[in-house]
Amino acid sequence: MALNCAPPVLNLNLKLWNKHPQTHFFVAKRSSKATAICGRNALRRSRSILASDDGFKMPFLRSAAKPNLMKVGASSDEAESFSSETTEQEDFSWSSVFLPFVFPALGGLLFGYDIGATSGAAISLQSPELSGTNWFNLSAVQLGLVVSGSLYGALFGSIIVYPVADFLGRRRELIIASLLYLSGGLLTACSPGLGVLLIARCLYGLGIGMAMHGAPLYIAETCPSQIRGTLISLKELFIVLGILLGYFVGSFEISAVGGWRYMYGVSAPIALVMGLGMWSLPPSPRWLLLRAVQGKGPLQEYKEKAILALSKLRGRSTDDKTSEKQIEETLVSLKTTYADQDSEGSFFEIFQGSSLKAFIIGGGLVLFQQITGQPSVLYYAGPILQSAGFSAAADAAKLSVVVGVFKLLMTGVAVLKVDDLGRRPLLIGGVGGLAISLLLLTAYFKFLGGYPLVAVAALLLYVGCYQISFGPISWLMVSEIFPLRTRGKGISLAVLTNFGSNALVTFAFSPLKELLGAENLFLLFGAIAILALVFVVVYVPETKGLSLEEIESQILK
């Protein structure tokens, strides 16, 4: 018979009692022998105990306390179901979470801006009249290197960040990313020749790799759990905003001599704002406590830094004891979680146990995000809309803005619903819609060429479904699914998987199109989308409303 290892003192919420008046609770008086047997397992079950009766909300930094409340004669499943209803959420003001979100999110905006600006810059750079250079006559390979230079830099950046992410911390990583964005943008705008331009593009890409790793980490670790999905999905919205901004600047500067320099140079002041903003923010309190538990510095010093960081993030005075209580309880949680493990994970720990399970979920999502054909489908946006007789399709810049606005609107839907409906419903519905849209595109190219509105509907369905599913939720799941111990390494590996698969799809598209034909290529993407749907249904859990520690203890174990 299992011992009841419940905490000896339980503060019962009056509202909860009113909700279940028929329920009777008991707390077994534990002997010293029972305590010895329960030991650390009791701490792991409870994680933390409410320290006072003043009714302050449960902290965002730890698992919500779930005392082992047992209904007399109830099964353990009933007890677990009931205890899940006791989770309380942190009180917060939106003004206090705005800056810790918006400055990291600028890293995503700059990633999107590069995508949008490059579409116009590639045209400007090759124009004899508008390039403003004597080396405008680029070969296909040279142009491909210019366009994909930032992608290669992002790949390299995600490799670099793997071993150093936990050492740098989320804040410093984003500051370095902003410096790389700034130097890459300025050097690109001032490039005297192709060689310097390619180096600058790779430098900017290094910033992308670091920002796409650090931004979701910092946001996830500093925001209240009840709005984590909304904020990380909003980061995806910032990427789409960046794409739109790049399209807009490109259409505005497309007729200027040397316009490509202005298109790329606009990123520099945004990067400067990002860097200054991150400099003004504190480190992630979770990261500080993890370093303390790993023995990377004096425990008391790191704890005090974490208290100050949390107080600054939440706009509290240093005399407010709420932050101290939250940090103390989180520290107990971390100590009990990692008491039986080495102080710091090994390089290959990501491929073991709960970390491997998390990587299968997160890495699988970002892999399917790319290999379901997202870059390739958008490649056909122009021809599809032109075949439907849309006059705006004759203007590539205006067409891009139209598609970008639709992407923005659908991402807004995901932002509004991700913490309401949850991750799984949006993923299942969105990926299912992707499969349907790809099969419709296949039918259009095979049988329905005379009905261009079918192709237009399929294109918009694809864009919309992608933006409510893989677009924002893949990165949301990646940011929250990994255990704290391996979160830095796990996310960097997921970023590497994302950019690696992106490169694979981008460069395999042309030969596959020639080998299979457009109709069979979209059929292949449709089959992969069906496989992705099966993966989501079978492997991807629901994490809505759970703190990061609850995800680790309840889903990954």
pLDDT of residue 110: 95
Q: What is the pLDDT of residues 499-533, one digit of tens each?
A: 888 777 766 776 777 788 878 888 999 999 999 99
Q: What is the pLDDT of residues 125-168, one digit of tens each?
A: 888 888 888 887 888 778 878 887 888 898 888 888 877 877 88
Alpha carbons within 13 A on the beta-carbon side of 108: 27
Average pLDDT over residues 480-501: 81
**Residue 470 and residue 321: Cα distance in Å, rounded?**
40
**Residue 241 and residue 114: Cα distance in Å, rounded?**
11
Backbone phi and psi for residue 20, each to the nearest 5 degrees, phi listed first: -130, 65
Q: What is the pLDDT of residues 340-349, one digit of tens each?
A: 555 455 557 7
- pLDDT above 60 for 19: no
Q: What is the pLDDT of residues 228-279, one digit of tens each?
A: 778 877 887 898 889 888 888 887 887 888 889 999 999 999 999 999 999 9
Q: Which residues contact 345 (CB under 8 A, 6 or more apart)?
A: 355, 485, 486, 489
**Residue 101 and residue 222: Cα distance in Å, rounded?**
9
| Residues forming beta bridges with residue 25, ordered by sequence position | 71
pLDDT of residue 109: 94
pTM exceeds 0.85, yes or no: no
Both tokens of 230, joined, read: 């909304």
Q: What is the pLDDT of residues 167-181, one digit of tens each?
A: 888 899 999 999 999
The single-letter code of the amino acid at 25 is: F
190 contacts 141 by C-beta, under 8 angstroms: no
Which of 199, 192, 191, 223 is closest to 103 using CA atoms? 223
Residue 25 is classified by DSSP as: E
- pLDDT above 70 for 355: yes
**Residue 290 and residue 302: Cα distance in Å, rounded?**
9
C-alpha distances out from residue 61 to 233, 286, 326, 330, 333, Å: 20, 7, 7, 6, 10
- Element holding 405 (H helix, E strand): helix 396-421
| Mean pLDDT estimate for the chain | 75
- Element holding 190 (H helix, E strand): none
Exposure pattern of 453-482 as b/e (b: 16+ CB <10 Å)?
ebbbbbbbbbbbbbbbbbbbbbbbbbbbbb
User: Which ranges in 422-547 belong to alpha helices (H)?
Assistant: 423-446, 452-468, 470-481, 487-516, 518-539
Q: What is the pLDDT of residues 544-553, one digit of tens each?
A: 877 777 777 7
pLDDT band at 78 (very low <50, low <70, confident <90, very high): very low
